[in-house]
């Protein structure tokens, strides 16, 4: 890579966009969907009837609040409740409210890649649950793993809700879980949501709603590149497309160019050519069954403590501990 190109690619976002749009086939990382507009669109998605994931996990946390909280209870020194990908905290507030009202000794540490999401969540918690001690941080999963090791003076519970693990294909998920395990001490727990395999049409509907909210969410990648890198994507000329493979349990999202076009990205000094119906792969959403979760745990050095399911068995929250040697 030339010195000039290295100078241009001065942020991870720019490097990832450059690498993704010069690859064959093209791709972009879904984590970059999340800015102020992307956060709002995702909240709109969570309110859709078709997007069952939020309601399913909300049901689990509401129905099993006491049992989950007792699992989380500290060992006399309190606990650190660390949530990766906290978002707006809607579901987590069910637990936070119970923990606070029942005088649990804990600090809530939400971590999210979106500064906007963290700012909103912190402000909302100060208003809604002022007794909860909040220590928020901006960052993405792999960045914060090393810092999690510092939380070793008392029990810690690491939460990943919303089936965020599903954004990683199995090899990368095992890598992430293995590194997560290395941050854990005896007694620490991981509480993680896994969207379950189900009727393929139900899954497709969740990621391809008739109102087009998910399509706009997916296209926010292009809006961000236009806004932050002075590009000229015509988002109306890209079609959101969702596919689901019931054999592998992998749902994939694409943006598909509907005609031949040339896109200039001034900040990258890059011209990108698209053929008609050429794709940009933007996201995966992995679905699971118990055998796959058990396999992921074993490969990562984790053991399943228990799990909680919603009434339709659409979704499960699993609790893991570090496997004994």
Convert the pLDDT of each residue in 211-220 to its tens digit: 999 999 999 9
- Which segment of 57-71, 149-163, 205-219 scores lowest on mean pLDDT? 149-163
Does residue 2 register a pLDDT over 60? no
Residues 34, 87: Cα–Cα separation, whole Å: 10
Does residue 68 register a pLDDT over 90? yes
* Contact criterion met (CB below 8 Å) for 174 and 300: yes
Question: DSSP string of 6-44?
Answer: HHH--SHHHHHHHHHHTSSSEE--GGGG-SHHHHHHHHH
What pLDDT was estimated at residue 1? 46
In this prediction, residues 136-148 reach a mean pLDDT of 80
Q: What is the DSSP letter of 196?
A: B
What pLDDT was estimated at residue 270? 96
Let me know if domain 64-196+288-322 sits in CATH 3.40.50.1970.
Answer: no
Q: Which residues are CB-contacts of 286 (< 8 A; sequence separation ≥ 6)?
A: 163, 165, 166, 167, 168, 169, 170, 173, 195, 249, 250, 251
What pLDDT was estimated at residue 173? 95
| Residue 151: how many other CB atoms lie within 10 Å | 19
Question: DSSP string of 44-63?
Answer: HHHTSSS-HHHHHHHHHHHH
State the residue for tokens 């053991």.
303
Does residue 93 register a pLDDT over 90? yes
- The phi, psi pair for 139, rounded to 5°, reads 170, 170
- Per the prediction, the chain carries an average pLDDT of 93
In this prediction, residues 165-191 reach a mean pLDDT of 94
In this prediction, residues 75-96 reach a mean pLDDT of 89
User: How do residues 104-118 score in pLDDT, each as one tens digit?
Assistant: 999 999 998 888 889
Residues 299, 194: Cα–Cα separation, whole Å: 17
* Contact criterion met (CB below 8 Å) for 167 and 283: yes
Domain with CATH 3.40.50.150 in the chain: 64-196+288-322
Question: 204 is written with which tokens?
Answer: 């497709």
Q: What pTM, to 2 d.p., does this model score?
A: 0.90
């Amino acid at each position: 890579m030339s010195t000039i190109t290295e100078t241009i690619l001065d942020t991870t976002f720019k490097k990832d966009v450059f690498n993704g749009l010069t690859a064959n086939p093209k791709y972009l990382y879904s984590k970059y969907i999340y800015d102020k507009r992307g956060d709002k669109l995702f909240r709109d998605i969570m309110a859709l009837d078709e997007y069952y994931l939020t309601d399913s996990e909300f049901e689990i946390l509401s129905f099993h609040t006491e049992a989950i909280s007792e699992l989380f209870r500290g060992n006399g020194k309190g606990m650190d409740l660390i949530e990766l990908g906290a978002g707006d905290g809607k579901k987590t507030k069910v637990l936070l409210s119970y923990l606070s009202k029942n005088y649990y000794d804990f600090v809530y540490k939400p971590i999210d890649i979106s500064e906007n999401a963290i700012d909103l969540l912190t402000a909302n918690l100060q208003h809604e649950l002022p007794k909860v001690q909040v220590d928020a941080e901006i960052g993405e999963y792999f960045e914060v793993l090393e810092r999690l090791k510092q939380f070793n003076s008392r029990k810690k519970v690491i939460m990943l809700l919303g089936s965020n693990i599903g954004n990683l294909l199995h090899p990368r998920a095992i890598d992430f879980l293995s590194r997560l395990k290395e941050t854990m001490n005896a007694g620490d727990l991981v509480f993680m949501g896994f969207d379950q395999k189900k009727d393929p049409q139900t899954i497709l509907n969740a990621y391809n709603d008739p109102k087009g909210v998910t399509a706009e969410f997916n296209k926010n990648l292009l809006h961000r590149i236009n806004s932050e890198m002075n590009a000229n994507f015509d988002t109306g000329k890209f079609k959101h497309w969702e596919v689901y493979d019931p054999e592998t349990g992998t749902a994939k999202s694409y943006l598909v160019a509907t005609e031949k076009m040339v896109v200039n990205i001034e900040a990258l000094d890059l011209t990108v050519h698209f053929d008609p119906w050429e794709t940009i792969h933007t996201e995966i959403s992995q679905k699971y069954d118990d055998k796959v979760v058990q396999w992921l745990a074993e490969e990562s050095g984790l053991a399943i403590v228990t799990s909680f399911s919603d009434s339709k068995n659409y979704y499960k929250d699993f609790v893991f501990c570090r496997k004994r040697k």
